[in-house]
Amino acid sequence: MTRARRVVVLDYGSGNIHSAAKALERAGAEVQVTADRTAVMEADGLFVPGVGAFRAVMEQLRAVRGDELIDRRLAGGRPVLGVCVGMQVFFERGVEFGVDTEGLGEWPGVVSALPAEVLPHMGWNTVEPGEGSALFAGIEHERFYFVHSYAAQEWTLDVSPPFPEPSVTWSEHGGRFLAAVENGPLSATQFHPEKSSDAGIRLLGNWIGTLRD
């Protein structure tokens, strides 16, 4: 019998942590909510939530040295899943209300306001899963729950062999934007799986299924 995968929900002051933990448990993970360095590094998977402004999330992450922990996990090929602003901070920069904030820089690009007449983009929307997506296996045509006004709207990462091509998923609200990215050990979704009913639980289950010893 295989053991349950251990997932740490990074506790750095961002909201929505406990609903994320419950969703991960429903998806089959053994979950711990903490910023403890040893727990974060030893977990099979790290879940990075994110609610609010890009700058505030970056400041909160750095306050608990979450940026260093994430970098060390990824350098060792240890899986990380970011959600909402927890996805946005993996890009180089975020621009909100004219404020330009440096992100974690794992991916090139800028997070900026969606070119839509109605913001925030709030509610259920479809996505266009990227080729070879593990996250969306079996749920390619489902809807997911979004709450955001900002997003990355271009994907410019140039990947050369032997590294695999990332799987990039798109959605649309006023224009196309990145709904999810799967790039080696780093995956992220702009929508909230924990608010996306059964489809979100299945997506989290798909991610948990990719975690290895």
Residues catalogued as catalytic: 84, 192, 194
pLDDT 10s digits, 50-81 = 999 999 999 999 999 999 999 999 999 999 99
User: What's residue 16's pLDDT?
Assistant: 72
- Report the predicted TM-score, pTM, of the whole model to 2 decimal places: 0.96
**Looking at the DSSP assignment, which residues form a beta bridge with residue 128?**
170
- For the stretch 103-126, pLDDT in tens is 999 999 999 999 999 999 999 999
Positive or negative CA dihedral for 163, 58, 128, 173? Answer: negative
Domains and CATH numbers, the chain: 6-210 (3.40.50.880)
From 68, 65, 61, select the one nearest 101 (Cα to Cα).
Answer: 61
Q: 167-172 and 121-126 as β-strands: parallel, antiparallel, unpaired?
A: unpaired
Long-range interactions of 158-162: CB distance < 8 A, separation 24+: 159/183
Question: Considering only 13-17, 35-39, 50-54, 184-188, which range has the smallest mean pLDDT?
Answer: 13-17
Residues 6+ positions from 212 with CB-CB distance below 8 Å: 44
Give ∠ CA 56-185-50 in degrees, rounded to 5: 20
The 10s digit of each residue's pLDDT in 187-196 is 999 999 999 9
